[in-house]
């Protein structure tokens, strides 16, 4: 395959998904019969995109395996062992996702090898590491998007906890107050996550009663009550108190490196990540939670969140700059007339039309595909240059080269 190909993508149906956002994007009946959480575009073994190649639908994985240099480009093929290094998603959260973090590359490699050695099946409930890759990710809001990301300033955590926590948690708070650093935070978090279940239930019940009294004045406590409504006896309901609570406005984005505890709470966004499925969970989920393993990967430094705005890189294109080596997210936008020409130095790209309509033309071969709302395509590295004409908003995933 040496020209542009339309994609057919898999929708993942998870309980926290929206019944309307993805069906409406794809022009399907809305609401759907089941919650639709994520639209995957890429070459992940769990749900690879299918590519229209000369009238036949072929897995993007198969295309890459057969023609890695043509599809990925030599630099990317060599660096990432003939694998597409990113996964592009539309994420639609109508309910909160689990509190989670992702391992570093070294941690993922060691964890994957260890669980293989122990003979834990890849699909086992208690499997932590599904592959040997890390999973840095960038989320860009399409609607107002509520999320938690990284530990708050310790002074703020202490202040918020003091407002809601009963006397039976006083010792832990006093210990934390006496050591207000990353070591104290790690001990405090471990105490919270591993306390006796009966004591944990009493703590949750008392804290939620206090949070309800304050919820009309502070969104932190409002979200705590909301999480309790979904996960009544889950210690993860304290996450808005200990993590930074953020609402991204449409067009804003944030980057999540390895080791940062986070959760997506509500909204629709474009998510671009390294091609991995490694997740270590800490709560707000019926799935496997492994607190000791989570503690090994977490960064316990207090953190201020850097909200990303797209930076203009060329006519019509704006880039979200992150430290990731595997991916770069950009948006090509004009509500009147896009007339975009790609760079000659490029690798494999996936483009999703979020709004409007645009024709994407392989300049060298004079082959063109039209993208309407919800449609996507892959542009192999072997396409020397391409142009886009139309109007609307298109999101592009690429590899920095």
Kindly state whether residues 143 and 16 are assigned to the same domain: yes
Which of 201, 221, 240 represents a domain boundary (last residue)?
240
Model pTM score: 0.94
Report the length, in residues, of the chain. Answer: 401
Kindly state whether residues 355 and 207 are assigned to the same domain: no
CB 190 within 8 A of CB 291: yes
Query: Which has the closest alpha carbon to 273: 75, 87, 10?
Result: 87
Confidence of residue 119 (pLDDT cuts 50, 70, 90): very high
pLDDT of the residue at 335: 86
For 271, the enclosing helix (H) or strand (E) is: strand 262-274
Confidence of residue 401 (pLDDT cuts 50, 70, 90): confident
CB 329 within 8 A of CB 396: yes
Kindly state whether residues 256 and 229 are assigned to the same domain: no
CB 357 within 8 A of CB 377: no
Average pLDDT over residues 207-214: 94
The total of other beta-carbon atoms located within 10 Å of residue 277's CB is 16
Give yes or no for residue 322 having a pLDDT over 80: yes
Residue 281 is among the residues annotated as catalytic for this protein: yes
For 286-305, how does the pLDDT look when each residue is reduced to its tens digit (9 = 90+)? 889 999 999 999 999 999 89
Kindly state whether residues 210 and 292 are assigned to the same domain: no
Kindly state whether residues 288 and 228 are assigned to the same domain: no
Kindly state whether residues 159 and 60 are assigned to the same domain: no
Kindly state whether residues 273 and 365 are assigned to the same domain: no
Which of 240, 261, 287 represents a domain boundary (last residue)?
240
Confidence of residue 236 (pLDDT cuts 50, 70, 90): very high
Average pLDDT over residues 196-225: 93
Is residue 277 situated within a structural domain? yes
CB 102 within 8 A of CB 135: yes
Selected catalytic residue, list 152, 177, 187, 281: 281
Confidence of residue 332 (pLDDT cuts 50, 70, 90): very high
Question: From CA 150, how far away is CA 337, in angstroms rounded?
Answer: 40
Count of the separate structural domains present in the chain: 3
Question: From CA 323, how far away is CA 313, in angstroms rounded?
Answer: 16
Kindly state whether residues 29 and 133 are assigned to the same domain: yes
The residue whose two tokens read 């994609």 is 7
Is residue 364 situated within a structural domain? yes
CB 18 within 8 A of CB 94: yes
Q: Over the chain, what is the mean pLDDT?
A: 94
What's the CATH number where 49 sits?
A: 2.60.120.10
Mention every residue, 6+ apart, whose C-beta is less than 8 A from residue 203: 165, 166, 168, 169, 195, 235
For 354-373, how does the pLDDT look when each residue is reduced to its tens digit (9 = 90+)? 999 999 999 988 889 999 99
Average pLDDT over residues 175-190: 96
Query: Which has the closest alpha carbon to 260: 244, 248, 274?
Result: 244
Which of 240, 262, 279 represents a domain boundary (last residue)?
240
Is residue 303 situated within a structural domain? no
Give yes or no for residue 318 having a pLDDT over 80: yes
Tell me the CB-side half-sphere exposure of residue 50, using CA atoms within 13 A. Answer: 10
pLDDT of the residue at 55: 87
Is residue 193 situated within a structural domain? yes
Kindly state whether residues 321 and 257 are assigned to the same domain: no
Give yes or no for residue 148 having a pLDDT over 90: yes
Domain that holds residue 259: 10-71+81-148+247-297
The total of other beta-carbon atoms located within 10 Å of residue 354's CB is 18
pLDDT of the residue at 97: 92
Question: From CA 327, how far away is CA 275, in angstroms rounded?
Answer: 10
CB 140 within 8 A of CB 301: no
Average pLDDT over residues 104-128: 94
Average pLDDT over residues 226-234: 92
Kindly state whether residues 207 and 351 are assigned to the same domain: no
For 49-104, how does the pLDDT look when each residue is reduced to its tens digit (9 = 90+)? 999 988 899 999 999 999 999 999 999 999 999 999 999 999 999 999 999 999 99
Backbone phi, psi, residue 167, to 5°: -65, -30
Is residue 305 situated within a structural domain? no
CB 310 within 8 A of CB 124: no
Is residue 258 situated within a structural domain? yes
Kindly state whether residues 252 and 231 are assigned to the same domain: no
Q: What are the tokens at 237? A: 């309901």
Is residue 5 situated within a structural domain? no
Query: Which has the closest alpha carbon to 130: 333, 243, 288?
Result: 288
Question: From CA 212, how far away is CA 128, in angstroms rounded?
Answer: 35
Confidence of residue 46 (pLDDT cuts 50, 70, 90): confident
Kindly state whether residues 119 and 28 are assigned to the same domain: yes
Is residue 188 situated within a structural domain? yes
């Amino acid at each position: 395959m040496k020209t542009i190909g339309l994609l057919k993508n898999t929708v993942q149906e998870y309980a926290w998904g929206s019944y309307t956002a993805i069906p409406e994007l794809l022009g399907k009946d809305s609401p759907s019969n089941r919650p639709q959480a994520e639209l995957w575009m890429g070459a992940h073994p769990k749900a690879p995109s299918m590519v229209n190649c000369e009238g036949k639908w072929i897995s993007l994985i198969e295309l890459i395996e057969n023609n890695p240099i043509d599809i990925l480009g030599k630099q990317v093929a060599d660096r990432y062992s003939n694998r597409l290094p990113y996964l592009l998603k539309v994420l639609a959260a109508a309910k909160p996702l689990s509190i989670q973090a992702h391992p570093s590359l070294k941690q993922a490699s060691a964890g994957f090898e260890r669980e293989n050695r122990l003979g834990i099946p890849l699909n086992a409930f208690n499997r932590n590491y599904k592959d040997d890759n890390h999973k840095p990710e960038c989320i860009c809001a399409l609607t107002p998007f509520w999320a938690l990301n990284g530990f708050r300033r310790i002074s703020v955590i202490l202040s918020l906890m003091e407002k809601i926590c009963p006397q039976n948690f006083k010792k832990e708070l006093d210990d934390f107050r006496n050591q207000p650093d990353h070591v104290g935070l790690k001990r405090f978090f471990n105490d919270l996550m591993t306390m006796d279940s009966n004591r944990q239930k009493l703590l949750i019940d008392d804290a939620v009663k206090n949070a309800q009294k304050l919820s009309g004045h502070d969104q932190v406590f409002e979200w705590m009550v909301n999480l309790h409504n979904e996960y009544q006896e889950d210690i993860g309901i304290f996450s808005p108190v200990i993590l930074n609570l953020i609402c991204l406005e449409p067009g804003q984005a944030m980057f999540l490196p390895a080791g940062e505890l986070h959760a997506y709470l509500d909204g629709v966004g474009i998510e671009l990540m390294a091609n991995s499925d490694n997740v270590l969970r800490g709560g707000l989920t019926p799935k496997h939670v492994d607190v000791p393993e989570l503690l090994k990967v977490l960064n316990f430094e207090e953190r201020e969140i850097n909200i990303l705005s797209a930076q203009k890189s060329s006519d019509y294109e704006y880039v979200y700059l992150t430290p990731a080596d595997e991916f770069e997210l950009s948006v090509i936008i004009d509500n009147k007339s896009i007339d975009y020409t790609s760079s000659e130095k490029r690798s494999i790209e996936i483009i999703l039309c979020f709004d409007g309509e645009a024709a994407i033309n392989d300049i060298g071969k004079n082959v063109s595909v039209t993208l309407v709302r919800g449609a996507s395509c892959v542009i192999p590295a072997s396409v020397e240059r391409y142009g886009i004409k139309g109007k609307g908003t298109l999101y592009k995933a690429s590899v920095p080269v």
